[in-house]
Chains A and B, each alone.
Chain A
Amino acid sequence: MLVWSRPGRMLIWAVFALLFGVLFLAPLAVILLSSLAEQWNGVLPSGLTIEHYSNVVRGAAWNAVNASLITGFLASALALVSGTWAALALRVQDATLARVLGVLFFIPSAVPSVSVGLGLLVAFSHPPLLLNGTIAIVMVAHFVLISAFTFGNVSAGLARLSPDFEQVASSLGARPAYRLWHVTLPLLAPYLVAAFGLSFALSMGELGATVMVYPPGWVTLPVSIFSLTDRGDVFAGAALTMVLVAVTLVLLLGLERVAGRQTRS
C-alpha cells in the first residue's frame, strides 16, 4: 500500500467503492430492477413481477440464447485454431514479415464493427461468394472481429515461453508435431483458455456487425435486446439482458475453473 495512514486508506476505499458502485453496479442494478418492474414512473418501480421473464422465456429467448451460444462457440473455436496457428507460424518467420502480418491481423479490431458488418454484406452479396442471408455470414463477422484477440493472446503467451522447453524436447528426439502437442500447446494452455473465454464473451455481446448481417431466424441475444428496446419494450429488453449477463457469467466462470485446473497441474 502506498498510503499508510488509516484515515487516508479509508478515504481511498470509499472513493473506490463509490466509483465502482456508480460505474459498474448501478447500471446493472437498474437493469435488474427494470427487468422485474410492473411499472416504473417514479423513483422506484411501482411493483415487482417475473412476468417479463416468463414472456421472454415463452418468446424468443431460447432461440436467441441458442443462436448466441452456437455463434460464440463456433466463432471462438475457429478463431482459437486460426489465431494459434497464425501465432505459431509467424514465430518462425523473420521479424519484419511477422510484424507486418501481425499488424494485418489487428486491423479488424481497429475498424468499427458496423463497418466490418457492412463490408461483409457488400462483399458477400454476389456469387460466387453468396453468404448474404445465411448463418455463415454471422459466424464470419464474429470470427473476423475476435480473431485478433485470440492471436494477440496466444502471441503474448508464445513470447513468454522460453525456447528452452521446445529445444530440450527436440534434442530428446521429439519431432515437431509431437513437440507441439505435448510441450508447446500444454504450456500455452492457460493463454488458449483465456483467449477462448475472451472471444466467447466478445462474441456474446457483439451487436454492431451482427445487426448488419443477421438472417431471419438467427437473432442473437444482443440483436433481440436491441429490437425489443427499439420497439419500446424496455422491460422485456432488460429481462433478456439479464439472461445474457447470466449466460456469459456462467460461461466465463466455467472456463476459469478449467483454466485454474490447467495452471495447477
Chain B
Amino acid sequence: MSVPAFTGSNVMDVDAAKIRGAGSNVHFDKVSVAYGAHVVLHPLTLDIAPGEILAMIGPSGSGKTTALRAVAGFVRPASGRIRIGATDVTDLPPYERGLGMVVQNYALFPHMRVEDNVAFGLRAQGADKALIGERVKDSLATVGMSGFSKRYPRELSGGQQQRVAIARALAVRPRVLLLDEPLSALDAQIRRNMVEEIAKLHRDLPGLTILYVTHDQTEALTLADKIAIMRDGRVSSHGPTAELYRRPPNRFTAEFLGRANLLPVTVAEGAAGPKGLATAKLGDAVLAGVARGEKPGDKTLLCIRPQHLSLTGDEEHTNRIVGTLREVHWQGELTHLVLDVDGTPVRVSATRLPVSLPERGSAMPLFFTPGDTSLVPEDVRG
C-alpha cells in the first residue's frame, strides 16, 4: 500500500512529505526501554515504511504500548535511536515530533466541543484561522462526523467519540499516526465497522504511515500491510501480513495469529519438486508439507489451520491423519471440532458436516492439502 516512489526513502525531507501528503518512515534503531532494572523492551530494530500500516500485536504486557509511546516521546529509550523520516526524534519533546495519537479511551477534551477538539492541535501550533476552519471541516468529513461539530464529547457514542479522536489526530496532518488499541473499548459489531472505516481512511490517505497497536489479530489481519508480533519485549516475528499468516516463522506466531494446529513431525525427505514439499512422519502417517529448508531427521512442527482441515478426502486433500473426536461445538455458520491426534489437540472448523458424525471418543480421519501446510520450527526461547 506504500507509494512506490517513496518506498524505503529514509532521506525524504519533511517539507517534501508535507507537500505531497506522504508520510515518513519510522525507524527503531536498537531501541530498548527499562523501568528501573526491569527491561520491558529489548533492543528493537524495526522499520515502518512511508504509507505502511504496521500492526503490532502480542499478549498483554509484551511491550506494544511501550514501543508506541517511545515513538510518541512519552517513554525515554534507555538506548538506541528513533528516527521519523530524516529526523532523529530521540531527544525531541513529544510536541515537536509531528505525530497524531489516538488512545484506547479516546481522551477527547470534555470541556471542548467536537470542532474545538479537532482544532486543538492546529491552534496549539498557532495556525491561522482560515486554515483551521478548513482542516476541521475536512477532518470531520473524512471520519463522517460533519454533523456533530457543535456537540460535546459526552453527547456522542463510543464509536463517534473514536472517530472524533481520529479526526483530531488527522487535523494536524501528522507524519505518522499512532493508534493504541483504538477499538478495544467498542463492542464487536461497531469494532468491525470501524476496522473497515480505518481501512477506507487509509485508502483515502495512502501516504499516512500508521503504527497500530492491538491484541486483536482480526484487526491486524484486516488492516495491516505488515505485522510485528511482540513477545516479552522482543519482536517474535515481523513480515507482510499474508506471508506471516501463511508461513509463520515460529510456533508462537503460528498460534498467536489464527490459532494454528501444530503437529510434531519428523522430516523424512527434504524439499523436492516444484512446490517445495518435504515429507514428514507423524507416527505412521506420512505427510507432505511446504518446507523451510529442513533436512531428513529434523524434528519440526507441521502447521495446518483449522479451516483447512476437511472431514472428507479427495484428489487434492491427500494428507490424511486420524484422530479421536473429543468435542463438537456448533456455532451456526461454523462447527468447531476438537480431535486428539497422537496426544496433540487438533481444532477443525467445518462449514459442512457429514450426514452422520461419529460418536465422541471414536476415531475419525482428517484430510488436508499439502499446499495449505507449512513446516514451522519449534521456538527457541531466550
Binding site for B on A (CB under 8 A): 162, 164-165, 167-175, 178-179, 182-183, 186-187, 189, 265
Contacts and interface: CB of A to CB of B under 8 A. Distances in A.
Contact of B125 (A162, A173, A186): A173
A186 B73 CA distance: 24
Contacts of A167: 72, 74, 94, 101, 103, 107
B99 interface: yes
B110 A187 contact: yes
Contacts of B72: 167, 171
Given A173-B124, A173-B172, A174-B120, A168 B107 contact: yes
A197 to B, nearest CB: 20
A164 B111 contact: no
B5 to A, nearest CB: 28
A174 B96 CA distance: 9
B107 A164 contact: yes
27 contacts: A165-B109, A167-B94, A168-B101, A168-B103, A169-B109, A169-B120, A169-B124, A170-B73, A170-B93, A170-B94, A170-B95, A171-B73, A171-B97, A171-B99, A172-B100, A172-B101, A172-B120, A172-B124, A172-B169, A173-B95, A173-B121, A174-B95, A175-B95, A182-B120, A182-B124, A187-B110, A189-B111
Interface of B: 72-74, 93-101, 103, 105, 107, 109-111, 120-121, 124-125, 152, 168-169, 172, 178
Contacts of B168: 168, 172
Contacts of A162: 105, 107
Contact of A171 (B105, B109, B178): B178
B153 to A, nearest CB: 11
A187 B172 CA distance: 23
Nearest to A189: B111
A171 B176 CA distance: 11
A178 B98 CA distance: 16
A178 B127 CA distance: 14
Q: Is the interface of A mostly helix, strand, loop or mixed?
A: helix
Contacts of B172: 172-173
Nearest to B94: A170
Nearest to B124: A174
Given A164-B105, A167-B94, A186-B111, A175 B100 contact: no
Nearest to A178: B124
Nearest to A262: B111
Contacts of A183: 109
Contacts of A173: 95-96, 98, 121, 124-125, 172
Contacts of A169: 109, 120, 124
A171 B100 contact: yes
Contacts of A174: 95, 120-121, 124
Contacts of B178: 171
A168 B110 CA distance: 13
A187 B111 contact: yes
B368 to A, nearest CB: 46
Ranked 9 nearest A-B pairs via Cβ? A172-B121, A174-B124, A164-B107, A170-B94, A171-B101, A173-B125, A186-B111, A168-B107, A170-B95
Contacts of A186: 109, 111
